Amino acid sequence: GENVEQHPSTLSVQEGDSAVIKCTYSDSASNYFPWYKQELGKGPQLIIDIRSNVGEKKDQRIAVTLNKTAKHFSLHITETQPEDSAVYFCAASMDSGYSTLTFGKGTMLLVSP
Amino acid sequence: DVKVTQSSRYLVKRTGEKVFLECVQDMDHENMFWYRQDPGLGLRLIYFSYDVKMKEKGDIPEGYSVSREKKERFSLILESASTNQTSMYLCASSPGTSYEQYFGPGTRLTVT
């Protein structure tokens, strides 16, 4: 089955800095790569996703890049703010018909004012 | 807005008890999922269902069963709770045409 590795496990930045979280996946058949944000006391929520036919996608201060050859994808957050502090999960999915996701172990991002 | 609700935010049970965790979604989604979340291990899929009365094992089904009698409701059952099932349990749902999963707030289960 699919295996998703995520690094780093914790990341501390100063407000205004950029943050980068990286993930690798094992199954070349995976074609959908979402990122979820989990705030304290809440369930994860989708913030951005990318499909395998696209190399990069942006949404305001967040962007995701995908390198299919190397089987890795990254989340980039620019101009970080304290409200970006949360746990971030990457995931990968094959088009199996069941929409199941394999998640990475998560990155706790702490943005200090 | 999609809403996924879970019956309890916190639950304390004794070893050997039968435990029911309930999840309800209000968006007529075909797919529903149960995960457990543990520090350093991320989200691990226990079971999922793609239709009423249908279920599929995820990565860690041992010690768990599920029930889906109605489209909007998906129950996770711990037949005989054990201390190693102490965890945060997250329910999610997704429409059949999309990968995006909508999560509930989670149930923190403690088995003593």
- Which is it for the CA torsion B51, B52, B57, B59, positive or negative? positive
Which residues of chain B, if any, have pLDDT below 50?
A: none
**pLDDT tens by residue, B31-40:** 999 999 999 9
Beta strands in chain A (DSSP E): 4-7, 10-14, 19-25, 32-38, 45-51, 56-59, 62-67, 72-77, 86-92, 102-103, 107-112
Q: Kindly report the nearest CA distance between residue B27 and chain A, in angstroms.
A: 16
Which residue of chain B is at minimal alpha-carbon distance from A88? B42
DSSP class of A84: G
Three-state secondary structure call for residue B84: helix
The model's confidence at residue A97, banded by pLDDT at 50, 70 and 90, is low
- Mean pLDDT confidence for A22-32: 93
Helix (H, G, I), strand (E, B) or coil at A98: coil
Cβ neighbours of residue A22 closer than 8 Å, sequence gap 6 or more = A6, A7, A72, A73, A74
Q: Would you state the pLDDT for residue A52?
A: 83
For position B96, what pLDDT does the model report?
Answer: 82
Residues in B 25-54 with any Cβ partner in A closer than 8 A: 31, 33, 35, 40-45, 48, 50
Q: Report the pLDDT value the prediction gives residue A19, as an integer from 0 to 100.
A: 98
pLDDT at A96: 64
Instruction: Give the pLDDT of residue B70.
Output: 96
Asked whether residue A99 carries a pLDDT value surpassing 80, the answer given is no
- Mean of the per-residue pLDDT values of chain B: 95
- Average pLDDT for chain A: 94
- Selecting from A34, A41, A105 the residue whose C-beta is nearest the C-beta of B41 gives A105
DSSP A93: B
pLDDT digits 0-9 by tens, A31-74: 999 999 999 999 999 999 998 888 999 999 999 999 999 999 99
Distance CA A39, CA A45 (A): 9
Residue type at B51? D
Spatial separation of the C-alpha atoms in residues A64 and A22, rounded to whole Å: 10
